[in-house]
């Protein structure tokens, strides 16, 4: 891994990622993302061979409360998670790549083709997975993927 560099006034963290992409969306300026997570995300990016948009990275406690309502110990607050949308990749493909890399938490959002990737696992060491639907809330990963398949076949 290269040392962080400046590029066009932005702090480059890995080949494809800049620190400002991970900043809290509330505008508070908190961009102190966990660097191990960024390295893992770079592996994801390299295997996907496509750029991805980080729709949510670090969240301060206030912003997390505003967007998620209930989750207190969100991995976003702990700075070890990102929500990602990869243009040119389906949710199925993103899930396969994420599993290969070994993220500790994976959440899929079939309505928005978004995948949550996090580097903090449960105490047991097992991978935590879930799906999410706007009107239903949290569901199982398998169920969410079935819904995705039905929508796209
Ligand atoms: Zn914030
Ligand atoms: Zn998330």
What is the reported pLDDT for 100? Answer: 94
Eight-state DSSP code of residue 4: P
C-alpha 25 to ligand 1 mean position (Å): 6
C-alpha 119 to ligand 1 mean position (Å): 20
Identify which of 61, 21, 67 has the alpha carbon closest to the alpha carbon of residue 41.
Answer: 21
What is the reported pLDDT for 9? Answer: 83
How many whole angstroms separate alpha carbon 58 and alpha carbon 28?
Answer: 10
What is the reported pLDDT for 68? Answer: 76
Ligand nearest to the CA of 75: 2
What is the reported pLDDT for 70? Answer: 61
Give every residue of the chain whose pLDDT is below 50, as ranges: none
C-alpha 116 to ligand 2 mean position (Å): 4
What is the reported pLDDT for 151? Answer: 87
Q: What is the pTM of this model?
A: 0.91
125: left (phi over 0), alpha (psi -120 to 50) or beta: left
C-alpha 100 to ligand 1 mean position (Å): 31
How many whole angstroms separate alpha carbon 117 and alpha carbon 18?
Answer: 17
Give residue-wise pLDDT tens across range 54-89: 999 999 999 998 887 666 678 999 999 999 999 899
C-alpha 112 to ligand 2 mean position (Å): 13
DSSP structure string for 78-112: TT-EEEEEETT--HHHHHHHHHHHT-SEEEEETTT
> In the numeric block, which tokens belong to residue 30?
């908190």
**Neighbouring-strand partners of residue 83:** 56, 116
What is the reported pLDDT for 123? Answer: 72
Domain layout of the chain by residue ranges: 5-151
Per CATH, the number for 5-151 is 3.30.1380.10
How many whole angstroms separate alpha carbon 72 and alpha carbon 81?
Answer: 14
C-alpha 98 to ligand 1 mean position (Å): 26
What is the reported pLDDT for 152? Answer: 81
What is the reported pLDDT for 69? Answer: 67
């Amino acid at each position: 891994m290269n040392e962080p560099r400046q590029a066009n006034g932005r702090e480059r963290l890995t080949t494809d990622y800049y620190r400002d992409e991970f900043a809290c969306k509330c505008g508070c300026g908190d961009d102190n993302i966990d660097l191990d997570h960024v390295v893992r995300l770079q592996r994801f990016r390299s295997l996907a061979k496509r750029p991805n948009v980080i729709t949510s990275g670090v969240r301060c406690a206030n912003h997390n409360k505003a967007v998620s309502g209930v989750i207190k110990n969100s991995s976003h607050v702990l700075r070890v998670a990102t929500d990602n949308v990869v243009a040119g990749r389906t949710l199925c493909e993103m899930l396969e790549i994420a599993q290969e890399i070994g993220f500790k938490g994976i959440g899929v959002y079939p309505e928005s083709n978004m995948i949550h990737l996090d580097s903090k696992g449960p105490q047991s060491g097992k991978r935590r997975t879930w799906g999410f639907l706007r009107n239903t809330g949290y569901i199982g990963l398998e169920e969410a993927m079935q819904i995705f398949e039905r929508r796209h076949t």
